Every structure is written in C-alpha cells, then in structure tokens.
C-alpha cells in the first residue's frame, strides 16, 4: 500500500507531465484514481490514530478527550426567583421551609437560599457604622445566649521572693454575664405596609427581582438595627453601645483639642491599640474645624491628625467610624454624640443566620401587585464597658 506522500508525488507527476496543457482523458483518469486512493489512505490513517488514542494510557487519553466542567445546579435559585415573581412555591423550594430553625414562625414565608442570603448579609454590612467596628457573631438558631463578660485590667502579676509564698497581685477572675436574645426585625414598606411591586414589572424577565427585594428590604432592616446598635434601650430591643456605659462630658458643641486628648487617655492603654472614634457626619464637620495649640488645623494627613478621605478618616491617629444614628453634638444638651475606644472588645452583635421572606400574591391581586416582607433576627449588648467611653454634652 502506497503512503500519502507517495500518492501526492504521483499526482504532482501527472500534472507536471501535461506542461500546462489540458489533461488527456487517460491523464484525468489516472489522476482521479490516485485521488481516490489518497482519500482512502487518509481515512485509514485517521482511524488508526483514533484507535491509538483509545489504547493509550489514561493520561494520554485525558489529554486527547475534552472533559467539560460540571454544570452548576441552579435549580433552587431559579425556583426561588419564580416564587418571588409569582408568590407560588413549588416542590424545589420545599427544603427552604423544612430547614427552618426551631422557633421560627413561617406564616407562608421561606428562608432565602444561600446565594441570596449572602447578598443580604453583604448589604447589611455595607450599611456601615458601628456594626462594622464591633464583634459580630452568627448563630444557626435564635435561642437566648448567655454571654460572659470580664474586666481584668486592674489586676497584675507580682514578684515572689525565693522560697516564699507569692503575695496577691489581684483578685481572681470574676466573670459577669449578659444575655443576648434575637429580636425579630421586619422590613415593610411605606406606612409599615409590605413592599409592593407591580405584576407587569415582575413578568419582565429582564427585571432583577432578587436585586430589588434584597436591596430595599435589607436597607430598611439595616436602618432599624443601626439605630439600636447605638441607642437601643434594652427593653424589647437591643442594648445600644451608649446605654448604661461610662460617659465623658464635653462642655460645648465642639470639643476642644485638649478635650479630645483627654478622651483618648480616659481609655486604658490596653484597649487603645484597637481603638476607634465614632460619631455622626455633622459632628465630624465640627471637629474638622479644630486647630491645635500652634493654631494648625487638625485636618492634615492621616499621620498628623484627621484624614477625611472616604476610607481613611483618622483623628489623633485613630480611625473614625461615621454612624448617623448618633445624636448631634449640641451645646447645653445631654446628647450622647459619640464614643471612643476598642468597640470590638466592648460590644457584640448577634445575628441569626436564617432570613425569612414572605411573598403575598393575594392581598393586592386586584391592584396587580405582589407584596414582600422580610424577617431577620438580631440582638446586641455591651460586653466590656471599660473598653470604651461614650461622649456626652454637658447640659449645664
């Protein structure tokens, strides 16, 4: 049997012999015979190559065969999106109801799937403020937690003389307790009514219903929680970071340079490495006008004083956390307008992992609307009040 190269040489010889003239019938017949033989030889070579790949070791086989990446199972996401658009659940989201933790009332609601839950959590974090500066724990269930508290900054070690009993360097560890609950935050719409979206909009496949619902409802929950993280009374709501903690009084609406320095040193040095300031934006605007003893503005680079850059605000070397839940610093008032210290050691927020979403397609059916309500459970409590100082205006 002739090889492919031999057949190609013979085909070229037929053409060269014609020297540019038209081929005779015999030459055409000879060329076409060679062409048929060439195609048969090429097919045979291709089959032999495929057979060799089949018989090769596994490594060679894997290199020769394309293996597609496994397709991601998005059945649950698509089923939940359908539920948001219609309010009608199907069998694919049954696990979202069955998987709810003990103590959660469903009332027609379903827990959001993991991907959407992550978006909601990210939006709660993005709301910023005190919640981003304190300790946050997440639990799978919502039963009350007993949280230990401890302040050991006044106790020290001692030097013991050789062959003698050591004297007391301080008291034994004394732990306190705080109870952290899980208050249910509900995100409705205007006038405490559910969020309403028209059916026409929901029927548009290009409309991101998950994006709208998570953005609007999680923002409303975040606003309610932010107010409680700062000013919560502890009665049917979280204890705020400013509730029942030591306060430092400031004489005027705008603190002086000396007062700010005194505030820093009112917090034990053990806490100051991780300390931050927190107050609202209006108070920040007052502090930006301050000057030091040499009449230089504190509004300098982050090394020297305050840097008002969006992500790098610093006052006397410590980061600034803006939280609009704080009251304005006002002269002759008793407003608690800010705090300074190690807020992560001083305050803890507890969030329950599961978030429940209620879709109601019935109440506003005649108006062509579907209603949405979201539930999220959380609580907060001071855990070490020596770690920070609350800043308050002097009412006198």
Any residues with CB less than 8 A from the CB of 8 and at least 6 apart, and which?
Answer: 38
Same domain, 103 and 205: yes
Average pLDDT over residues 274-292: 88
Place of tokens 């089923």: 79
pLDDT surpassing 80 at residue 299: no
Same domain, 128 and 179: yes
Does 275 fall in a domain?
yes
Does 163 fall in a domain?
no
Q: Residue 126 has what pLDDT?
A: 56
- What CATH number has the domain bearing residue 390? 3.90.1690
Same domain, 53 and 77: no
CB contact at 8 A, 337 and 279: yes
Same domain, 59 and 88: no
Same domain, 117 and 196: yes
Q: CA 57, CA 64: separation in Å to the nearest integer?
A: 11
Same domain, 106 and 235: yes
Query: pLDDT (tens digit, 9 = 90+) per residue, 362-373?
Result: 888 888 888 888
Does 267 fall in a domain?
yes
Same domain, 257 and 222: yes
Average pLDDT over residues 341-355: 90
Same domain, 149 and 31: no
Q: Looking only at Cα atoms, what is the longest distance across the chain?
A: 124
Does 325 fall in a domain?
yes
CA 269 to chain centre: 32
Top-ranked range on mean pLDDT: pick from 33-47, 103-117, 338-352? 338-352
Top-ranked range on mean pLDDT: pick from 101-110, 160-169, 196-205, 257-266? 257-266
Same domain, 47 and 188: no
Same domain, 351 and 235: yes
Same domain, 14 and 141: no
User: pLDDT confidence of 343, banded at 50, 70, 90?
Assistant: very high
Closest to 356 measured CA to CA, from 131, 185, 127: 185
pTM of the model: 0.64
Closest to 390 measured CA to CA, from 210, 193, 240, 173: 240
Q: CA 279, CA 325: separation in Å to the nearest integer?
A: 8
Q: CA 123, CA 222: separation in Å to the nearest integer?
A: 8
- Which domain-ending residue is among 41, 64, 87? 64
Residues paired with 390 in a beta bridge: 247, 339
C-alpha pair distances (Å), 333 with each of 255, 324, 326: 13, 18, 14
Q: CA 19, CA 95: separation in Å to the nearest integer?
A: 81
Domains identified in the chain, total number: 2
Average pLDDT over residues 208-214: 74
Query: pLDDT (tens digit, 9 = 90+) per residue, 14-47?
Result: 877 877 788 888 888 888 888 888 888 888 888 8
pLDDT surpassing 90 at residue 347: yes
Does 165 fall in a domain?
no
- Which domain-ending residue is among 32, 64, 96? 64
Residue 278: exposed, middle, or buried by beta-carbon count in 10 A (0-12, 13-18, 19+)? buried
pLDDT surpassing 80 at residue 125: no
Does 169 fall in a domain?
no
Query: pLDDT (tens digit, 9 = 90+) per residue, 145-186?
Result: 877 666 555 566 666 667 666 655 556 656 667 788 889 998
Q: CA 149, CA 3: separation in Å to the nearest integer?
A: 88
Same domain, 50 and 115: no
Strand order in the sheet with 276-279: 247-250, 388-393, 336-341, 276-279, 318-322, 314-315
Q: Average model confidence (pLDDT) for the chain?
A: 75
Q: Where are the alpha helices (DSSP H) in the chain?
A: 4-18, 25-55, 58-64, 75-86, 94-98, 114-126, 199-202, 209-231, 257-265, 269-272, 281-287, 343-346
Any residues with CB less than 8 A from the CB of 266 and at least 6 apart, and which?
Answer: 248, 340, 389
Does 287 fall in a domain?
yes
- Which domain-ending residue is among 64, 86, 110? 64
Does 99 fall in a domain?
yes
Q: Which range of residues forms the domain containing residue 26?
A: 4-64
């Amino acid at each position: 049997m002739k090889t492919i190269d031999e057949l190609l040489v013979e085909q070229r010889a037929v053409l060269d012999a014609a020297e540019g003239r038209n081929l005779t019938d015999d030459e055409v017949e000879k060329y076409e015979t060679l062409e048929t033989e060439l195609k048969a030889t090429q097919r045979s070579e291709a089959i032999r190559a495929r057979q060799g790949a089949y018989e090769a070791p596994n490594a060679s086989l894997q290199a020769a065969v394309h293996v597609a990446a496994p397709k991601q199972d998005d059945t649950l996401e698509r089923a939940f999106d359908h539920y948001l658009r219609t309010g009608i659940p199907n069998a694919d989201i049954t696990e979202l109801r069955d998987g709810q933790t003990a103590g959660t009332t469903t009332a027609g609601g379903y827990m959001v799937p993991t991907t959407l839950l992550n978006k909601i959590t990210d939006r709660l974090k993005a709301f910023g403020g005190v919640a981003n500066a304190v300790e946050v724990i997440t639990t799978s269930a919502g039963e009350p937690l007993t949280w230990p508290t401890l302040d050991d900054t006044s106790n020290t070690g001692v030097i013991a003389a050789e062959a003698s009993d050591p004297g007391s360097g301080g008291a034994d560890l004394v732990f306190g307790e705080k109870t952290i609950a899980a208050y249910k935050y509900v995100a409705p719409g205007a006038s405490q009514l559910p969020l309403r979206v028209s059916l026409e909009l929901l029927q548009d496949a290009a409309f991101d219903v998950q994006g709208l619902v998570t953005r609007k409802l999680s923002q409303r929950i975040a606003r309610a929680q932010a107010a409680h993280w700062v000013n919560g009374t502890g009665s049917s709501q979280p204890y705020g970071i400013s509730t029942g903690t030591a306060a430092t009084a400031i004489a005027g609406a705008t603190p002086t340079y000396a007062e700010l320095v005194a505030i820093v040193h009112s917090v034990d040095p053990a806490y100051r490495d991780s300390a931050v300031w927190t107050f609202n934006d209006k108070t920040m605007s007052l502090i930006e006008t301050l000057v030091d003893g040499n009449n230089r503005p504190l509004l300098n680079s982050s090394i020297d004083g305050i840097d008002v850059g969006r992500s790098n605000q610093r006052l006397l070397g410590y980061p600034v956390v803006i939280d609009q839940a704080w009251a304005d610093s006002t002269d002759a008032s008793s407003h608690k307008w800010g705090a300074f210290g190690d807020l992560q050691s001083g305050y803890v927020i507890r969030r329950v992992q599961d978030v429940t979403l209620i879709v109601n397609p019935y109440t506003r059916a005649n108006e062509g609307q579907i209603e949405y309500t979201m539930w999220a459970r959380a609580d907060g409590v001071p855990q070490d009040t020596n770690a920070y100082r609350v800043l308050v205006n002097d009412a006198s």
